[in-house]
Amino acid sequence: MTNHHLPNPPKNALLRILDMAKKGYVEGERDRTYVPMIAVKALHEQFKADLVFVQQALETKLSDIQSDQKKLLTSTVSLNK
């Protein structure tokens, strides 16, 4: 995770998952820990929402880049005339 520069929402979700896994491992050495399915589903939904946020941000940035690229192309064509 440290090799990649993730935006805060997914990074925070992954850190929460990592923290829960570490706690489960430490507690698992003594006895097994039961994780309710509702907690797993809630974490899954939150992680999906974070990824949707990142995807929308990337789509917005790509759209801006395409718009700027079209403007540059139009300017280049008009300069060549």
Domain count, the chain: 1
pLDDT digits (tens, 9 = 90+) for 35-55: 788 888 888 888 888 888 888
CA distances 36 to 8, 13, 44, 55, 80, Å, are 26, 18, 13, 29, 66
Spatial contact of 47 and 20, defined as CB atoms under 8 Å apart: no
Residue 76 placed within a domain: yes
**pLDDT band at residue 1, thresholds of 50, 70 and 90?**
very low
pLDDT at 14 over 90: no
Helix, strand, or coil (residue 9): helix
Residue 3 placed within a domain: no
pTM of this structure: 0.48
How much of the chain exceeds pLDDT 70, in percent?
79
CA distance from start to end of the chain: 51
Backbone angles phi, psi at 31, to 5 degrees: -160, 170
Residue 40 placed within a domain: yes
Residue 21 placed within a domain: yes
Residue 45 placed within a domain: yes
Residue 26 is predicted with a pLDDT of 58
Residue 65 placed within a domain: yes
Which helix (H) or strand (E) segment is 43 a member of? helix 37-80
Residue 1 placed within a domain: no
Which domain range does residue 33 map to? 8-80
